[in-house]
Amino acid sequence: MFSGCLRKGIRFSVKISPFTANPDIDPAMSSNTNAPASSHFIRSFIEADLASGKHAAIVTRFPPEPNGYLHVGHAKSICLNFGLAIDFKGKCNLRFDDTNPEKESEEYAQSIQADVRWLGFEWNGEVRWASDYFEQLYQFAVELINKGLAYVDELTPEQMREYRGTLTQPGKNSPFRGRSVAENLDQFARMRAGEFADGAKVLRAKIDMASSNINLRDPVIYRIRRAHHIRTGDKWCIYPMYDYTHCISDALEGITHSLCTLEFEDHRPLYDWVLDNITIPCHPQQIEFSRLELHYTITSKRKLLQLVTEKHVSGWDDPRMPTISGMRRRGYTPEGLREFAKRIGISKSENIVDMAVLEGAIREDMEARVPRVLAVINPLKVTITNFDGAQSREAGFHPNHPEFGSRVIDFSREIWIEADDFAEVPPPGWQRLIPGGEVRLRYSYVMKCEEVVKDATGKVIELKCSIDHNTLGKNPEGRKVKGVIHFLSCEKALPAEIRLYDRLFTVAEPDADKEVDFCTYLNPASLTVVQGWVEPVVKDALPETRYQFERLGYFCSDRYDHQPGGKLVFNRAVTLKDSWSKE
Q: The domain 296-369+494-583 is classified under which CATH number: 2.130.10.10, 2.40.50.100, 2.40.240.10, 3.40.50.300?
A: 2.40.240.10
Q: What mean pLDDT is reported for the chain? A: 92
Q: What is the pLDDT, as a whole number, of residue 39?
A: 87
CA dihedral 67, 65, 289, 26 (to 10 degrees): -100
Cα(348)–Cα(378) distance, rounded to whole angstroms?
A: 46
DSSP state of 133: G
Ranges for all domains in the chain classified under CATH 3.40.50.620: 1-289
Q: In this structure, how many other beta carbons lie within 10 angstroms of the beta carbon of residue 55?
A: 24
Cα(97)–Cα(245) distance, rounded to whole angstroms?
A: 8
Extract the residue ranges of the chain whose pLDDT is less than 50.
Answer: 1-4, 6-35, 580, 582-583
CATH of domain 1-289: 3.40.50.620
577 is catalytic: no
Say which of 76, 301, 328, 492 is annotated catalytic.
301
Strand 91-96, strand 128-129: pairing: parallel
Cα(91)–Cα(58) distance, rounded to whole angstroms?
A: 7
Ranges for all domains in the chain classified under CATH 2.40.240.10: 296-369+494-583, 374-492
Residue type for 400, please?
N
Cα(248)–Cα(135) distance, rounded to whole angstroms?
A: 12
Say which of 43, 61, 65, 128 is annotated catalytic.
65
Beta-strand ranges (E) seen in 365-472 are 372-373, 375-376, 379-384, 393-396, 406-409, 414-418, 438-441, 446-454, 460-468
The CATH architecture of the domain made up of 374-492 is: Beta Barrel (2.40)
Residue 558 CB contacts under 8 Å (≥ 6 apart), including other chains: 329, 499, 543, 569, 570, 571
DSSP state of 371: -
Cα(272)–Cα(261) distance, rounded to whole angstroms?
A: 16
Say which of 128, 206, 217, 291 is annotated catalytic.
291
65 is catalytic: yes
∠ at Cα 571 (462, 76), nearest 5°? 150
